[in-house]
Chain A
Amino acid sequence: QEQLQQWGAGLLKPSETLSLTCAVHGGSFSAYWWSWIRQPPGKGLEWIGQIDHSGGTSYNASFQSRVTISLDTSKNQLSLKLNSVIAADTAVYYCASHCSGTNCYYGFDTWGQGTMVSVSS
């Protein structure tokens, strides 16, 4: 059973870079793919981007110029970087896997615990 554990800085100033890491425990790192999703306080979910086991990425057009998702296969970790943050980037950020066991699908199966990131001067 895959488990996702995430961490990163929780308080940023405007214009700084948001940086989060998600460690993948269990599952099949060499075959899975993952997404980052965020949720502003009291609001709905928003998909940020996706990375597959070979490092291939897709990003929400709304973040395209500011976001980078990468893999560290030696550590079974994925990371999210969002440049030039503003107050509107304040949200809980989640990493999520699209796979469970040998079943991968177009949805989000396993979720990290979430990391609250606040942007304030």
Chain B
Amino acid sequence: QSALTQPASVSGSPGQSITISCTGTSSDVGGYNYVSWYQQHPGKAPKVMIYHVSNRPSGVSNRFSGSKSGNTASLTISGLQAEDEADYYCSSYITASTLYVFGTGTKVTVL
């Protein structure tokens, strides 16, 4: 099972909106509404930001939103803040022996 494809880096200025894409296939992203997104600051464990494509866990800012179209899922961060600078990973559930696949990761830089 290949990793999902994400852009290596995305940047934006404070207050702007950015979108991170996560491209897979009909066997993973396109086949199920089970995409999740994780934020990881250096040296820290990942933190879930979105699950099941567009659901936000309790405590996660509503500046984070998720969507999906075909084989590509997206994470949008609106009102970009300095604290949003981190690595972001997508993940998709798949019904194979390997249940989950992650994206290649995107480094978000706040200019």
Instruction: State the A residues within 8 Å of B (CB).
Output: 35, 44-47, 50, 58-62, 64, 94, 100, 105-109, 111-114
Contact = CB atoms under 8 A, between A and B. Distances in A.
B68 interface: no
A109 B57 contact: yes
A79 to B, nearest CB: 19
B57 to A, nearest CB: 7
B48 A47 contact: no
Interface size range on B against A = 20 to 34
Contact of B36 (A46, A107, A114): A107
Contacts of B57: 100, 109
Contact of A62 (B98, B103, B104, B105): B98
Interface string B14-44: 0000000000000000001010101000000
A65 to B, nearest CB: 12
Interface in B65-86: none
